Amino acid sequence: MRYWLMKSEPDVYSIDDLAAEPDATSPWEGVRNYQARNFMRAMRVGDLALFYHSNCKTPGVVGVMKVARESYPDETAFDPKSPYHDPKSRLDAPRWDRVDVQYIRHLSRIVSLAEIRQCPELADLPLVRRGNRLSVMPVTSQQWQAILTLEQHR
DNA sequence: GCCAACGTTGGC
DNA sequence: GCCAACGTTGGC
């Protein structure tokens, strides 16, 4: 079982939106970066992921979810009306994938990016490396534990 | 709203 | 295959 971190802008799709879905499960759509896509392809059912809110007042980790379905084609790429439309992704050769994720819980409080930056054990997390813009990234078990320990502080 | 950093595109 | 231009990400 592996650990991941997945970013979403809460104005577009928040952890509350995920929790409100039927079965608290939703496709994770719209990833249009090859490295992030490849990480999604490596996900297995039962893997755990941190839900991260980006591009908002207090960016940070807000909850925990799990992988409920392994990667399959992201059909929003085929839809000209979708904001995620990519004409280069063809039905016979899908370029982009999605996974399904299921809500597990909110953190008891947001673990902010500022705190994560200050935590020495999290210095190697891609999230805090200079200029990194990956929206899906692996998290080691040590890093996972460090974030959940931060949750319990203060 | 600004802007640094990055990935992608396309001309050559 | 290089690289300048461009669009996007995302923190601040």
Each residue's pLDDT tens digit, A107-133: 999 999 999 999 999 999 999 987 788
Q: Is A26 helix (H, G, I), strand (E, B) or coil?
A: strand
For tokens 């992704």, the residue is: A89
Nucleotides of C under 7 A from a protein CB: 9-12
Residue type, A9: E
Residues with CB under 7 A from strand C: A 7, 9, 32, 54-56, 59, 113-114, 117, 133-135
Distances (CA, A) of A143 to A49, A68, A114, A117, A149: 12, 22, 15, 12, 10
Nucleotide nearest to A134 (CA to C1'): C9
Distance CA A15, CA A121 (A): 25
Residue A127's pLDDT is 94
DSSP codes joined into one string, A47-102: -EEEEEE-SSSS-EEEEEEEEEEEEEE-GGGG-TTSTT--TT-BTTB---EEEEEE
| CA–C1' A3–B1 (A) | 35
B4 C1' closest Cα residue: A131
Distance CA A83, CA A29 (A): 11
Kindly give the parts of chain A with pLDDT less than 70. 154
Nucleotide nearest to A34 (CA to C1'): B7
